[in-house]
Amino acid sequence: MTTVGERTGPGAWVLVGRAALVPAAVAAALLPLGDGVAAGNVALVLVAAVAVSAPGRSWWTPLAAATSGAAAFAVLWAPPTGSPTVDRSSHRVSIVLVFAVGLVLARLGQRWRPGRLDLLDSATWRVRQALRRPRGLDCLRSVGRLSEEVACGDSASFIRIDVARTLVELLDLRDCRYETAPYLPSTRPVLQHPGWLTIGPVGWSPVHVGLPEHGFDIVVEARGLPVGRFVCAPRRAGHAHEDSILAALALVDHAAMACLIEAAAAA
């Protein structure tokens, strides 16, 4: 969306000035060719110059580029040269085409560039995810590390922090926090054994359908009672690896085990 700042800010006017300069510079650069280049071909070159010289999303840049291209053709290439007056009707048509076609192409280019960048960004993210996606051995290492911490008697709070940090890595989360029961009811889906997301009577596999973009919970249960939950916020909606889901549930079970051991020691 184009904002007021984009239209009136100093940076936007720099883009407008550059868009107006490029077609005029192209028209002037072609002058040494003289009669070796037909005026119609010059008009086509100017249309291309207008189309590629209008960055940003504001209407002002393509409008400035199209006006500059049409004026440059009229003054430098349409007889009598050096004057804005044009004698031939064919040249008048060329001026109109430089302006209209160049304006349309420049505007289409503005609309296409953001979409192309979004596609490239999405493709880059998918490649990065494929490269960094944890495999079974990495998940086993994470579970093994937490098992050692529990066996060594580390505090439940320390283990919960480590579980939250590891969940961020395994599930590519933006954030993960732990909430101690009792907590407020949530409308987020819940990830539970054997690796399904459920919300009310509805359930789905995060491996095949994907993790919800707006977050989900993993409840920590000890002896069948909830003692807390991990609130997970994915970076974006996307499919999860099955090994990551199973490892995440195992890590949460380790947190529940640590809570039981700590409660038994305090009794």
Give the domain CATH number at 254. 3.30.450.40
pLDDT at 196: 92
Is residue 93 located within the same domain as residue 18?
yes
Q: What is the mean pLDDT of residues 75-101?
A: 82
SS3 193: coil
Which domain, by its residues, includes 236? 136-266
The residue out of 79, 95, 130 marking a domain boundary is: 130
Is residue 78 located within the same domain as residue 195?
no
Is residue 147 located within the same domain as residue 215?
yes
pLDDT at 155: 92
Q: What's the whole-number average pLDDT of the chain?
A: 82
Is residue 126 located within the same domain as residue 228?
no
Q: What is the pTM of this model?
A: 0.51
Is residue 170 located within the same domain as residue 125?
no
Q: Which has the higher per-residue pLDDT, 204 or 83?
A: 204
CB-based contacts of 258, cutoff 8 Å, min separation 6 = 149, 150, 154, 155, 156, 159, 160
CB-based contact 168:159 (threshold 8 Å): no
The least confident of 7-11, 137-141, 225-229, 232-236 is 7-11
Find where tokens 């804005």 sit. 84
The residue out of 130, 146, 173 marking a domain boundary is: 130
Alpha-carbon distance of 55 to 11, in angstroms, equals 12
Is residue 82 located within the same domain as residue 148?
no
Is residue 104 located within the same domain as residue 222?
no
Count of structural domains, the chain: 2
Is residue 146 located within the same domain as residue 237?
yes
The residue out of 81, 108, 130 marking a domain boundary is: 130
Q: How many residues does the chain have?
A: 267
